[in-house]
Structure 1
Amino acid sequence: MKLEKEDQEALSPYHRLSHAIGWFVGTVYFVVFECAMVLGWIAFNVGLAPTHWTFDPYPFPLLAVVLGLEAVLLTSFVLIRQNAIDRASERRNHLDLQINLLAEEEATKVLKMLGEIAVHLKLPVHDPDNKDLSQHTQVESIARDLRAREKKEGE
């Protein structure tokens, strides 16, 4: 959490603003706000306004332009926010991988030491998988095997 907070603080004000807009766009509040603005625009321009002064008569070409521009900008804000979320997720996944590799290495050492203790105390070991599990895990070969399976399934 501390690292993520530091990442947020390191963002430029423009990125923070785009993240806030991207967040707001994905809420019900934005949908309600958007509907109210469009309905207000239409009501004003069909003569329901007290002054009967319209600036965008039916079929509301200016409204279409404004909504089109808004769609492009809001899509950009959402994509900027999504890219930041993806980068943070990648960092977390990489950290998880590193921690898992360390845990695997530690577990392998512990199993190896337990096996040595069992041999030293002349205790019978009934688990046939113990020898395999106490060997160093070849992460690179596992990754290659996974890639090969993915390619084979993709064909």
Structure 2
Amino acid sequence: MIEPRQGMGATLRQNIEDLTARQREDAERAPLSDKVADRITRFTGSMTFVVLHLILFGVWISVNLGVLPVLPRFDPTFVALAMVASVEAIFLSTFVLISQNRMAAVADRRADLDLHVNLLAEHELTKLAGLVARIAEKLDISAGDPAFVEVHADVQPVQVLDALDESRKEKGIE
């Protein structure tokens, strides 16, 4: 249970708990390939990975330059080092892309949720504005503010998307 925080309502705390639990469930249900890619990506993005590479490549280069005569030279032209680094880069970039694709899918789900919640809130506010206008009318209070009149209209999401697309085209963004 999340500890109550000053100014944070019970509903907000519950939402945080529910979303955190859902993220945990989604992570547990993820395919093994996604879990492996995420772990590799997390490790390769760490300072431990950088330090290990500095040590490994430093020893490799030092041995093959003859600076460390502890071992015989095994790659004096560094062709093997270049090949190992290239193959590693291919695999690492693939793991990063897999993780990014998964993160993009999660971001798309969140954006969809945000859109649906915002549309629901917009619809509810439109209904409340109508109710407030009727109450103002009953109480003989003027509600003629042009901004208030706009609140009465339900937002049509498809029209908003069309307008955004048109605006982007005009500005050469798409």
TM-score by length of 2: 0.80
Higher relative contact order (CA 8 A, sep 6+): 1
Q: How does 1:40-51 map to 2 (within 5 A)?
A: 40-47=59-66, 48-50=68-70
Percent identity of equivalent pairs: 33
Q: Distance in 1 between matches of 2:157 and 2:93?
A: 40
In the other structure, the counterpart of 1:153 is 171
* Contact 1:21–1:77 (8 Å) recurs in 2: yes
Deviation at 1:12, TM superposition (A): 2.3
1:26 corresponds to which residue? 45
Instruction: Report the alpha carbon displacement of residue 126 of structure 1 after superposing the two structures with TM.
Output: 4.6
Aligned partners of 2:36 and 2:59: how far apart in 1?
26
- Alignment deviations for residues 68-97 of structure 1 (CA, whole Å, 9 cap, x no partner): 100100111111111111111111011000
1:9 aligns with 2:28: yes
- The corresponding residue for 2:95 is 77
Matched, 1:96 2:139: no
Query: In 1, Cα distance between the equivalents of 2:172 and 2:65?
Result: 56
CA distance in 2, matches of 1:12, 1:53: 44
The 1:5/1:49 distance shift into structure 2, 3 A limit, reads farther
- The gaps in structure 2 that reach 5 residues or longer are 1-19
Q: What are the residue-to-residue correspondences of 1:120-139 with 2, within 5 Å?
A: 120-139=138-157
CA distance in 1, matches of 2:146, 2:31: 57
C-alpha contact 1:18 1:81 (8 A) present in aligned 2: yes
Moved over 6 A (4+): none
8 Å CA contact 1:22, 1:74 repeated in 2:
yes
Per mean C-alpha deviation after superposition, the further-off stretch among 110-119 and 41-50 is 41-50
Letter matched to residue 86 of structure 2 = G
**Counterpart of 2:151 in structure 1: which amino acid?**
L
Report the RMSD for the aligned CA atoms in angstroms: 1.7
2:73 to 41, 45, 54: 54
- Contact kept, 8 Å, 1:23 with 1:78, in 2: the verdict is no
Provide the C-alpha distance between the structure 2 equivalents of 1:128 and 1:84, rounded to a whole number of angstroms: 45
How many correspondences in the alignment?
153
Secondary structure class of the residue paired with 1:53: coil
d(CA) in 1 for partners of 2:74, 2:165 = 60
* CA-CA distance at 1:120 after TM superposition: 1.4
**Residue range with higher mean Cα deviation, 64-73 or 33-42:** 33-42
Q: TM-score normalised to the size of structure 1? A: 0.89
